[in-house]
Amino acid sequence: MIADLQCVVLDCSDPGELAEFYQSLLGGTVDQPDRRWALSEDWATLHTAAGLVLAFQRVAEYRPPLWPDPNRPQQFHLDFGVADLEHAQEQVLARGARVLDGGADGRSWRVYADPAGHPFCLVRH
Protein backbone atom coordinates (compact mmCIF):
# COMPACT_ATOMS: atom_id res chain seq x y z
CA MET A 1 0.00 0.00 0.00
CA ILE A 2 1.34 3.43 -0.97
CA ALA A 3 -1.35 5.80 0.30
CA ASP A 4 -4.72 6.39 1.97
CA LEU A 5 -7.62 7.95 0.06
CA GLN A 6 -8.11 11.38 1.65
CA CYS A 7 -10.92 12.77 -0.45
CA VAL A 8 -12.58 13.00 -3.83
CA VAL A 9 -12.23 16.48 -5.34
CA LEU A 10 -14.87 17.87 -7.70
CA ASP A 11 -14.25 20.84 -9.98
CA CYS A 12 -16.93 23.54 -9.89
CA SER A 13 -17.64 27.26 -10.14
CA ASP A 14 -18.85 27.75 -6.53
CA PRO A 15 -17.24 25.42 -3.94
CA GLY A 16 -19.39 26.55 -1.00
CA GLU A 17 -22.64 26.13 -2.87
CA LEU A 18 -21.72 22.65 -4.08
CA ALA A 19 -20.57 21.61 -0.59
CA GLU A 20 -23.94 22.67 0.81
CA PHE A 21 -25.77 20.76 -1.93
CA TYR A 22 -23.95 17.54 -1.07
CA GLN A 23 -24.43 18.20 2.65
CA SER A 24 -28.18 18.30 2.02
CA LEU A 25 -27.90 14.83 0.45
CA LEU A 26 -25.34 13.17 2.75
CA GLY A 27 -25.37 15.15 5.99
CA GLY A 28 -22.04 15.94 7.61
CA THR A 29 -20.08 19.13 8.20
CA VAL A 30 -19.15 21.73 5.60
CA ASP A 31 -15.67 23.23 6.01
CA GLN A 32 -14.78 21.32 9.16
CA PRO A 33 -11.31 22.41 10.29
CA ASP A 34 -8.78 19.89 9.01
CA ARG A 35 -5.00 20.26 9.04
CA ARG A 36 -4.80 18.68 5.57
CA TRP A 37 -6.43 21.62 3.77
CA ALA A 38 -6.57 25.38 3.88
CA LEU A 39 -10.17 26.42 3.38
CA SER A 40 -10.90 29.42 1.16
CA GLU A 41 -13.41 30.77 -1.30
CA ASP A 42 -11.70 28.48 -3.84
CA TRP A 43 -11.81 25.27 -1.74
CA ALA A 44 -14.55 23.78 0.41
CA THR A 45 -14.96 20.39 2.05
CA LEU A 46 -17.72 18.12 3.31
CA HIS A 47 -16.84 15.61 6.03
CA THR A 48 -19.66 13.04 5.96
CA ALA A 49 -20.84 10.97 8.92
CA ALA A 50 -19.66 7.85 7.05
CA GLY A 51 -16.09 9.20 7.06
CA LEU A 52 -15.93 10.11 3.36
CA VAL A 53 -14.56 13.56 2.60
CA LEU A 54 -15.66 15.37 -0.54
CA ALA A 55 -13.78 18.50 -1.59
CA PHE A 56 -14.88 21.16 -4.03
CA GLN A 57 -12.36 23.15 -6.04
CA ARG A 58 -13.11 26.39 -7.89
CA VAL A 59 -12.03 26.28 -11.54
CA ALA A 60 -11.79 29.51 -13.52
CA GLU A 61 -14.21 29.50 -16.45
CA TYR A 62 -15.66 26.18 -15.27
CA ARG A 63 -17.60 24.30 -17.94
CA PRO A 64 -19.77 21.53 -16.50
CA PRO A 65 -19.77 18.02 -17.96
CA LEU A 66 -22.32 17.26 -20.65
CA TRP A 67 -23.27 13.64 -20.14
CA PRO A 68 -22.47 11.60 -22.21
CA ASP A 69 -20.59 14.02 -24.51
CA PRO A 70 -16.91 12.97 -24.57
CA ASN A 71 -15.91 16.56 -25.42
CA ARG A 72 -17.04 17.65 -21.92
CA PRO A 73 -16.36 14.60 -19.69
CA GLN A 74 -16.75 14.09 -15.96
CA GLN A 75 -14.40 16.22 -13.86
CA PHE A 76 -12.92 15.08 -10.55
CA HIS A 77 -9.68 13.83 -9.03
CA LEU A 78 -8.57 11.79 -6.04
CA ASP A 79 -6.28 12.97 -3.22
CA PHE A 80 -4.11 10.31 -1.55
CA GLY A 81 -2.42 10.93 1.79
CA VAL A 82 1.20 9.78 2.12
CA ALA A 83 3.84 10.04 4.82
CA ASP A 84 6.76 10.51 2.41
CA LEU A 85 6.16 12.36 -0.88
CA GLU A 86 9.48 11.35 -2.44
CA HIS A 87 9.03 7.65 -1.71
CA ALA A 88 5.38 7.66 -2.81
CA GLN A 89 6.34 9.45 -6.03
CA GLU A 90 8.93 6.77 -6.83
CA GLN A 91 6.29 4.09 -6.28
CA VAL A 92 3.53 5.65 -8.39
CA LEU A 93 5.94 6.44 -11.23
CA ALA A 94 7.17 2.83 -11.19
CA ARG A 95 3.54 1.74 -11.60
CA GLY A 96 2.95 3.90 -14.69
CA ALA A 97 1.91 7.31 -13.35
CA ARG A 98 3.45 10.48 -14.75
CA VAL A 99 4.15 13.82 -13.09
CA LEU A 100 1.85 16.70 -14.06
CA ASP A 101 3.03 19.17 -11.39
CA GLY A 102 6.00 18.21 -9.25
CA GLY A 103 5.44 20.86 -6.59
CA ALA A 104 8.70 22.71 -7.20
CA ASP A 105 7.59 25.44 -4.78
CA GLY A 106 7.94 23.07 -1.80
CA ARG A 107 4.24 22.68 -1.13
CA SER A 108 2.84 19.56 0.55
CA TRP A 109 1.18 18.07 -2.55
CA ARG A 110 2.00 17.02 -6.10
CA VAL A 111 -0.15 16.23 -9.14
CA TYR A 112 0.15 13.10 -11.28
CA ALA A 113 -1.77 11.36 -14.06
CA ASP A 114 -2.66 7.68 -13.89
CA PRO A 115 -1.88 5.51 -16.93
CA ALA A 116 -5.22 6.50 -18.52
CA GLY A 117 -4.54 10.23 -17.95
CA HIS A 118 -6.80 10.84 -14.91
CA PRO A 119 -5.23 13.35 -12.51
CA PHE A 120 -4.63 12.53 -8.85
CA CYS A 121 -2.66 14.15 -6.04
CA LEU A 122 -0.26 12.82 -3.44
CA VAL A 123 -0.60 14.92 -0.28
CA ARG A 124 1.80 14.73 2.66
CA HIS A 125 -0.02 13.77 5.92
Q: How far is CA 110 from CA 82, 105, 119, in A?
A: 11, 10, 10
Query: Which pTM was predicted?
Result: 0.84
| CA–CA dist 75, 18 (Å, integer) | 14
Q: Which residues neighbour 41 within 8 Å (Cβ) at sequence distance 6 or greater? A: 15, 16, 58
Q: How far is CA 112 from CA 10, 28, 35, 39, in A?
A: 16, 29, 22, 22
Q: Where along the chain do its domains lie?
A: 4-59+76-124
pLDDT digits (tens, 9 = 90+) for 34-91: 998 889 999 999 999 999 999 999 999 999 998 889 998 888 899 999 999 999 999 9
Considering the domain delimited by 4-59+76-124, tell me its CATH architecture: Roll (3.10)
| CA–CA dist 47, 23 (Å, integer) | 9
Quick one: pLDDT at residue 58? 96
Which of 48, 52, 58, 50 shows the shortest CA–CA distance to 10? 58
